[in-house]
């Protein structure tokens, strides 16, 4: 699912897509992955995880960060914490 308008990196996350992702999760079996692309960052990943999405594309949130490795670890840490809570 695209959570930005396709085109270029660094766009603002479109929160209205969250309900579409959540609906897709209810329609699809759990073993089917739902990937979210666009605007996934430290301030949006929790909301995206709440929808049931389980694959993420994070471009500028990682590569545009002052500490890219730290930014990636933060996103992966949020995913791991959610997975262990389930």
**What is the per-residue pLDDT across 36-58, written as a single tens digit (0 to 9) for each?**
999 999 999 999 999 999 999 99
The pLDDT assigned to 84 comes to 83
Number of structural domains (the chain) is 1
Q: Do 34 and 55 form a contact (C-beta atoms < 8 A)?
A: yes
Q: Is residue 7 part of a domain?
A: no
The pLDDT assigned to 83 comes to 82
Q: Do 40 and 9 form a contact (C-beta atoms < 8 A)?
A: no
pTM: 0.85
In angstroms, rounded to a whole number, what is the distance separating the alpha carbons of residues 1 and 35? 6
Q: Is residue 24 part of a domain?
A: yes
CATH number at residue 37: 3.20.20.70
Compute the 3-state secondary structure of the chain and give helix, strand, coil in percent, each to the nearest 5. 50, 10, 45
Q: Is residue 1 part of a domain?
A: no
Q: Do 86 and 54 form a contact (C-beta atoms < 8 A)?
A: no
Residue with the bigger pLDDT between 68 and 10: it is 68
């Amino acid at each position: 699912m695209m959570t930005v308008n396709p085109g270029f990196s660094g766009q603002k996350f479109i929160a209205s897509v969250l309900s579409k992702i959540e609906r897709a999760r209810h329609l699809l079996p759990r073993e089917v992955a739902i990937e979210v692309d666009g605007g996934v960052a430290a301030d949006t990943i929790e909301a995206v995880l709440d929808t049931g999405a389980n694959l993420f594309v994070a471009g500028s949130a990682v590569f545009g960060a002052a500490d890219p490795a730290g930014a990636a670890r933060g996103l992966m840490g949020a995913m791991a914490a959610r997975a262990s809570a389930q």
